[in-house]
Structure 1
Amino acid sequence: MTGEWSDPRAFDAGWLDDFASWTARAALESLVDEALAGPELAGALRRESLRATDVREGLLENESLLAKIRMLQDQVSAEGASGFRPRGRPVRVSELGWLLIPFVLEVGYLSLLQRAWDAMPVFLRIFAVLALPCGLVAAVARMSRRTPELRARFTSGPAEFGDEQLGLGRRRPFALREIVLPEARDFISAHRLLHYGTELVFEKQCELYEEATGDVVPTAAAKRLRRILERAGTGAIALGGQRGSGKTTAILSLQRGLIHGTENPAPLVVVAAAPANYDARDFVLHLHGLLCKAVLDLLWNELPPVRSWRSWLRRGARLSADLIGSAAVAWAIGGWLWDGSFTRFPIELGLLLRRIHFPDLIDPLWTDQPAGNRIALIVIVLLALRWTLKVLRIPIDVLLDAVQRKRSAGLLELEADARRQLDRIRYLQTHTSGWSGKLLFPGSADLGRTQSTQRAEQQLTHPEVVAEFRAFAQRTAGLLRGEGVTDRLVVAIDELDKIGEQEKAQQLVNDVKGIFGVPGCLYLVAVSDDAVLSFEQRGLAMRDAFDSAFSELVRLEPFTQDESRLWIAQRLPGVPEQFCHLGHCLSGGLPRDLRRVTIDMVDVTTELYQPSLSAVTSILLRAELTAKTSAFTGQARALEQTTELAQLWTKLLRIPETREAAELAALAAELHEGATHDLATPVNLLRHHSSAFVLFCATMLELFTDALTDDRLTPALHQLAVARRHLALDPHLAWSTLTDFRKAHDLALPE
């Protein structure tokens, strides 16, 4: 560490008055220096042309970051040696072998060198002495690389306190990964190198169709969801927000471990889509089956390979075949090289082995033998050494297999239980048993009797299905946490907001909320804006299914202007800021629409080379106007034909033909002419929708031109994104927002 806080021994006497603050500051500085030295931030600093000293100073001045470090120190002090400890990966035999083999080879080399020293010529002695340190260095290097990892696995208890820990103990990696690095990324993103220009150019395009591995925009909702995962062990959380606000993306990011804020392993996430037409019993069974599959997939990666008796038989057969093959190879090579008959080679080799006496091995096996015999003996020794290692490995494998079985007994039982549960869900099991007998008499007479019983497992009722799911989920959550495999279960029910009728959505929640409240299991449910409204009205003498089912609500708001700019800049590095603002205004900040607009902008570059801002804006809005005109005329076609509607119809047909911004603004005024505040009238509602949308397009065309310089990219442009969102909710409010914006920016008001 560097700086006045870097050396714990170099402190002023006055700092002793608040030793806790000093250690928190020193720990923060140590973590910041370590983060900035890492390849991730070093590459980001080079890419954004930022200095490490500036980022360092900015992070050290972050009082919120310092408070998080101090709270973590308090938690470490309070927990002591207790707390959740992740499950370590089992040690493989090959890892222990890499420690044992160098040691055995070196000892054998020294033993052979000692016994053969007198019989060795001078040049061979020199070679053997020079080879000895080389072998020692290679063995020590290999052992030093493997020993720390094995020592970390076998060491129990937290690391001892030292100056490098500064009160964080074994949670120092967590503090670096989950506290300092996210703040550093946010700081770099906020101070990133901005590009300005009116030509659409970018370095490359990244992950336009799906979320990148780590490029999750740190919105307020994402941070709150992370905090919920840190503190909530059970309960039901509602994910609210309008369509396209990113509820599904948040659930998928959670499933991939991108929204996770503890040092514990990421939760086991089960995602199910809510059906439009459902049966409550079948839906809970569907959730149960998905949970069983998720548990089996998780245990497939977590459980060590435990061999069954069939695998031991297969291994024995392979070893027998290998032994026969090795013996044949040894006989073939030895008989070809041995100074004697091919058929007599095994007999002569046996006689030779009988004549030698320990420790006199060099003369009969090497000195007194011709060159061909020496080579044959080397081949036989290598094959024998190979088979000795194979034979020695069998009892080691048996012992490790027994240890792994005992160590993973709970997980193996859970795996078997999950398979049984999945089979029970899939099939209606039928068991038939019986007996029959026949007694023959003289004269072809016989007497017989048969008896059989048949058992068919009856279908479980809905309460029984709920009880089975709760029991399995609770058992799974407790066992996985106890074994250190995962911290908790998360069951996410997506697309509930796509059920059009609010009553049906409430009924589904009522039917399945019996599975809520399982210890160690957290539920996330994507709900509609109506459900959010009913939840926020709790305590106002009205309760419904959503209010009684969910303990907390996380509302996903549309992107702010800075969040949209960051989202586009992450996927189109080097793109000018003018186009980032254009994407935000056209999408209204809705993540789904922002992705579509960004893809449309990229598609323009396939037709035009470095298109200008005016050209891109015109192309995108022209496509919007054409599509919306078809929608408006379709609505008009479904209405009762009147003189008022006929006049509006002719104006709607003029929308695709109007090219200039001023003409569009004038057409918007004509469409709005005669509009009233009564949105219940279909013609009047169509008049509001069409006029507001045309005025929005006219405003965008007038503003996003090649004359849009960087000094005009102000936060006031966010009002256009707000107006875009109002178009789908309240066209009258959208019209008012647009007229206020035009007035503030000296644009002609529609008359």
Structure 2
Amino acid sequence: MLWTLLNKPWLAPVVQKVQLFRSPSRDEVYERCVEAAVDAPPRAHKLGIRPGASRRHVFNDMHTPEYRAAVYTKVDGALQKTAYDKAAVGFERVRARQQAAADQTEWPWKVVCSVLLGAGFIVLTTWGVLALLIALISGSLLTFILFWSGTAVWFNLRYCLIAGSLAISRVGARVELGYRAVLWGETLHDDGVVPVMDAMIRNLLGDDPDSLFVPQGTSTGLRAPRAPGFAIPTEAMEQLQRKLSHLDEGTIAVCGPRGVGKSTLLENAADQADFGFVAQAPATYAPHDFLISLSVRLCQKYMDYENYPVPEFARLSPFHRLLQSTRRRLTALVRWSSFALPAGALLVLGVSSAARSLYDQYKNSATHTADTAVHAVHAWLREVWNGDAVVTSVLVIVAGIAWWLSRHDPWIPRSLGRLWSRLGAKLGILLALASLGSAFFDPQIRQLAQHVHLSTILVTALLAGGWFYSWTASNLAQSRATHMEIGYWTIYASDAFRLLAAGLGTYLVYILVRTPSTYALLADTDNPSRLAGMVAGALLARAAGWKPRPAKPHLVTRCENHLYRLQTIQTTTNTLSNGTAQIMSLGGSHATSISTVPPNFPALVEEFRDLLTEIADTLARRKKRVLIGIDEVDRLGSDAQALAFLAEIKAILGVRHVYYLISVAEDVGAAFVRRGLPHRDVTDSSLDDIIHVEACTLKEAKTILDRRSQDHTVHTALLAHSLSGGLLRDLLRYGLQIEEIQVKTRTHELAHIARELILEELSETLAGFRTLLGKQQWTHDTSGILSDLRTLCGHLKTSQCECTDGPLRQALGEFAHQPADARPLSADIADGARQLIEEAAAYSYFSLTLLEILTAPGLDRRTEEAKAEGPYGALERLAEARLELTISPHSARTLITRIRKAWSLNDSPTIDIFGPVLRRWSCPLHGSDSFGRRRTRPSRDPRLADPSDRH
């Protein structure tokens, strides 16, 4: 169990510090730093995967003179190293002096010093400080006599005492050395060992070290794509913040392709706003229902912003609601009483004697003072009533008028409340301190305190300090939710500290009660009064911070009424009847029923604008910003439906101090950008500005994956970015799919993972194209392309590994170059089928290019060579080609051809796309024996100790 606990990752830094403190020598510090670095998960998971890059190789190479010198060169001149060297020299000097003194004496100095210390402790605990002082004086006199006589006893005793005193200095120097070793070890590990070891591991891994994908189970952000807290600053976010900072209000459209991250942008902007929310546009065209939903959302959000509960509309009868409310109140009352009544009873019982004593002592004087005050007030009222005090009457009239005029602005109660909140806490603290301080001026307590032993004071102080530390630590641990898992048990630090505080407090009370000297102090007759004064002061200080709940704001009431109007149908029935009490009587009855009418669209728009305007004006006076996001407008279908939707809700836009963010499709954004060319539409009068959300760059894609997962490398980010085209939604999906393929294939090489992922996506895509082509009209002469596509799909489904990819290579190469083949497509093929064939072939051409680029060895080297060929060799072009496929297969094929030329790829349909890969990389299913080759371990090169030297 202990070994399992010590191997916990969160405990590894603590264990390393303990080991450095225990073994502070230079070689041990270096050894511990190397072990900690090589066993760290980011490096340990990469070792042992490729030949020649195992833990044993790294550990042995780090102990060679070349790499050791490289490590110390990295941290040369560090302040921690200077302090460590100084502490090491100081410790060696003290140890040498102490050893020299120990060699001079014939007696065992440890035994002599232990006997002297033990005797002094026994004298102190048995007879007190005075006896210890007498013993020290006697011992000093005896030592002087031995010195004067010059005996061997003095010589041996002298050097024993010198060795003992130097032993204390040695312990202090050893503690200093251990502390400096811990600081020096952290610097050596972070700034020296880690960068040198990372460079060494990259060298040992050989070509393309970033192509090694080793997941460590830290991809929680990929498993929950919509989880909050993973947004990173992008160009679109910065552009939106700039536009919001230059506008006081307005409507801004956010356009871009689906999946690019428009929803994330809107949610992030709403979270950063002082008052904001995002509403989802309806999938079907229903502006009235959308505006009702938006109004309800506005009311609920504002009531929550003002910390008022949203009303729950009745679903039960009034009697059941009354029973539920009564049950809740009774439950709360019982729980409160179970604590309040026993506490109050114990408090009253404890202070009853002191209260009666104070009452008997001050009863007569308090009664006389009260009678005098009553008579004075009565005389003053009589003078005013009889008209004898004219000036006082005028002042009373003025005071009455002032009080009536302050009914709209109760400044007098508010001023009194402020005065109470400022002075009440100070009065309570002074009362508590005065009650506690009275004990120090009590002669009886001061006399009894002289009989308390020093050991009792020390024990009491230690217990009190331990209790205070445990109590504060429990509160701190509870706020941080610190816990430790031991097997199936989860131990929270707050519970452990709370239990420790309870034990120390109980033992402290036990010690105080069981010790006669402290019991006499606790038994002082004035202690209940002092404690009551401290409790009263604490309650007074606590009551000073209480404030009555302010009245419900007018806007909150209006929001509640608006919610009732929108979400309920209210019916009122009035019945009037009359009659006589005689046996024969005449009577009548009349009933009236009134029902509210749901608001129509114009009335709903007017009420929404009025309510939003009042909310925005109220928040604007507080320097707050209101932001409303309307998402998923591009789900309405065509751009005509989206424009019609904007035309309907245009009436709610343009509210003062309100920002609207509306996510629209690229067609609507293009209509706004044209600015009325050739004609104007609703976007010109509805939108104030527009933001185009572009696909993320490769650098942003790597940052996004790093934020959500610590496992992805530069090359895996390149694979996900290329397949997704930079669209955020697809990027996260492919990032998670890469991890799923790694678990399925149990391979760590990018070449194998890229092959599986690309062929899997290609298989699903071509299957979808084949389904669409099946709806077209075909003849015997034109169905050859369907046979070729069926053959390719069959090869994609049956291909298990690279060893059997010969037929797949041939079929994929022929279909990918279909439009560029010498045999053009038959003229009898319909235009719709021809378009689908060209799109499928262009996507196959793109997949073929990714396979040839990402599955061949030497990706880093070939990347530099492609960049040297021109702009089409940049890695960003692969994602651009994927996005271009959504526009036109012809322009995409042209771009892909230029990319292939920059990467020196052959355009022949019979090219051997997998041959070079199979000759260089081992098959994940059959191992390296299938190809008869195994990679050799790279040679050591200490020059690669610099992490900036990547190749």
TM-score range (shorter-chain normalised) is 0.5 to 0.7
CA contact (8 A) 1:432 1:452 kept: yes
Distance 1:393 1:332 in 2: 22
Report the equivalent of 1:178: none
Report the equivalent of 2:221: 207
Distance 1:273 1:319 in 2: 44
In structure 2, the CA distance between the partners of 1:682 and 1:216, relative to structure 1 (3 Å rule), is: same
Distance 1:302 1:677 in 2: 70
Report the equivalent of 2:697: 560
What is the letter of the counterpart of residue 619 of structure 2?
L
Report the equivalent of 1:507: 644
Report the equivalent of 1:354: 360
Report the equivalent of 1:245: 260
In structure 2, the CA distance between the partners of 1:312 and 1:230, relative to structure 1 (3 Å rule), is: farther
Report the equivalent of 1:666: 814
What is the letter of the counterpart of residue 858 of structure 2?
L
Shift of 1:291: 0.7
Shift of 1:523: 1.0
SS of residue in 1 equivalent to 2:679: coil
Report the equivalent of 2:143: none
CA contact (8 A) 2:231 2:264 kept: no
In structure 2, the CA distance between the partners of 1:667 and 1:231, relative to structure 1 (3 Å rule), is: same
Distance 1:746 1:540 in 2: 44
Distance 1:560 1:212 in 2: 22
Structure with the bigger percentage of helix: 2
In structure 2, the CA distance between the partners of 1:381 and 1:535, relative to structure 1 (3 Å rule), is: same
SS of residue in 2 equivalent to 1:667: helix
Equivalence map 1:341-420=2 (5 Å): 350=356, 354=360, 374=523, 378-379=527-528, 381-383=530-532, 385-387=534-536, 389-390=538-539, 393-394=542-543, 396=544, 400-401=547-548, 405=550, 412-420=553-561
Shift of 1:217: 3.9
In structure 2, the CA distance between the partners of 1:703 and 1:419, relative to structure 1 (3 Å rule), is: same
What is the letter of the counterpart of residue 235 of structure 1?
G
Distance 1:276 1:225 in 2: 26
Q: Match for 2:588 among 449, 464, 468?
A: 449
Report the equivalent of 1:683: 833
Distance 2:885 2:828 in 1: 16
Distance 1:312 1:630 in 2: 64
Distance 2:354 2:628 in 1: 72
- Residue deviations 1:535-593 (CA, integer Å, cap 9, x gap): 12223131122233111111111112322232223333363322222221111111111
Distance 2:659 2:846 in 1: 43
CA contact (8 A) 2:354 2:529 kept: no
Shift of 1:353: 6.4
In structure 2, the CA distance between the partners of 1:324 and 1:586, relative to structure 1 (3 Å rule), is: closer
Report the equivalent of 1:34: none
Unpaired runs of 5+ in structure 2?
1-41, 43-70, 75-128, 130-197, 203-207, 311-325, 366-437, 449-518, 797-804, 868-872, 910-951
What is the letter of the counterpart of residue 498 of structure 1?
R
Q: What is the count of residue pairs matched by the alignment?
A: 528
What is the letter of the counterpart of residue 565 of structure 1?
K
Matched, 1:293 2:310: no
CA contact (8 A) 2:782 2:829 kept: no
SS of residue in 2 equivalent to 1:690: helix
Report the equivalent of 2:570: 429
Matched, 1:233 2:248: yes
SS of residue in 1 equivalent to 2:588: strand
Report the equivalent of 2:754: 617
Shift of 1:459: 2.0
What is the letter of the counterpart of residue 812 of structure 2?
L
What is the letter of the counterpart of residue 360 of structure 2?
R
- Residue deviations 1:585-606 (CA, integer Å, cap 9, x gap): 1111111111111111111232
Distance 2:706 2:828 in 1: 42
- Residue deviations 1:139-167 (CA, integer Å, cap 9, x gap): xxxxxxxxxxxxxxxxxxxxxxxxxxxxx
Shift of 1:750: 4.2
CA contact (8 A) 2:445 2:521 kept: no
SS of residue in 1 equivalent to 2:598: coil
* Greater gyration radius: 2
Shift of 1:281: 2.1
Report the equivalent of 1:128: none
| TM-score normalised over the length of structure 2 | 0.50
What is the letter of the counterpart of residue 199 of structure 1?
L
CA contact (8 A) 1:240 1:247 kept: yes
What is the letter of the counterpart of residue 698 of structure 1?
L
Distance 1:293 1:710 in 2: 55
Distance 2:447 2:329 in 1: 43
CA contact (8 A) 1:196 1:710 kept: no
SS of residue in 2 equivalent to 1:300: coil
CA contact (8 A) 1:675 1:688 kept: no
In structure 2, the CA distance between the partners of 1:716 and 1:440, relative to structure 1 (3 Å rule), is: same
CA contact (8 A) 2:782 2:826 kept: no
CA contact (8 A) 2:565 2:598 kept: no
Q: Match for 2:271 among 247, 252, 256?
A: 256
Matched, 1:647 2:660: no
Shift of 1:241: 0.7
Report the equivalent of 2:346: 329
Report the equivalent of 2:860: 710
What is the letter of the counterpart of residue 709 of structure 1?
L
Shift of 1:212: 7.1
In structure 2, the CA distance between the partners of 1:347 and 1:387, relative to structure 1 (3 Å rule), is: closer
Shift of 1:624: 0.7
Matched, 1:722 2:880: yes
CA contact (8 A) 2:722 2:879 kept: yes
CA contact (8 A) 2:254 2:690 kept: yes
Shift of 1:741: 1.7
SS of residue in 2 equivalent to 1:735: helix
CA contact (8 A) 2:354 2:528 kept: no
Report the equivalent of 1:268: 275
Shift of 1:709: 3.1
- Residue deviations 1:359-378 (CA, integer Å, cap 9, x gap): 9995899999x959937864
For the aligned residue pairs, the C-alpha RMSD in angstroms reads: 4.2
CA contact (8 A) 1:605 1:611 kept: yes
Q: Provide the identity percentage.
A: 25
What is the letter of the counterpart of residue 595 of structure 2?
A
Shift of 1:268: 1.7
Shift of 1:230: 1.4
In structure 2, the CA distance between the partners of 1:724 and 1:383, relative to structure 1 (3 Å rule), is: same
SS of residue in 2 equivalent to 1:451: strand
| TM-score normalised over the length of structure 1 | 0.62
